[in-house]
Amino acid sequence: METQKPDKEILLSLVQTKMPFGKYKGTLLCDLPDFYLEWFAAQGFPKGKLGMQLSTVYEIKLNGLHDILKKLKTIA
């Protein structure tokens, strides 16, 4: 079984892209509060690239991999 590697461009976009709307407009996606991401998970993530980015941040945080985002922020 082949191990799938994370897409570097997607991961970097999580620490460079700001939320374009709502209460957290202007906040980096990686800095969105967990409860906000949980709300999106329950309601449904938006379609398109933003939805993919939000669901990726959610999965990273859900699985306790916050350190990945912290390290990426230092190099981005």
In a domain, residue 45? The reply is yes
pLDDT in tens, 62-71: 999 888 888 8
pLDDT, one tens digit for every residue, the chain (76 residues): 666 666 788 899 999 999 999 999 999 999 999 999 999 999 999 999 999 999 999 999 999 988 888 888 888 7
Phi, psi angles (nearest 5°) of residue 59: -65, -40
In a domain, residue 3? The reply is no
Spatial contact of 17 and 53, defined as CB atoms under 8 Å apart: yes
- How far is 76 from 37, CA to CA, in rounded Å? 22
Count of structural domains within the chain:
1
Range of the domain at 52: 8-75
In a domain, residue 19? The reply is yes
In a domain, residue 23? The reply is yes
pLDDT in tens, 26-36: 999 999 999 99
| Residue 18 CB partners (closer than 8 Å, separation 6+) | 25, 26, 27, 28, 29
For the question of whether the overall pTM of this predicted structure is more than 0.85, the answer is yes
Please, what sign has the CA dihedral across residues 20, 14, 43, 38?
Answer: negative
In a domain, residue 51? The reply is yes
In a domain, residue 1? The reply is no
In a domain, residue 59? The reply is yes
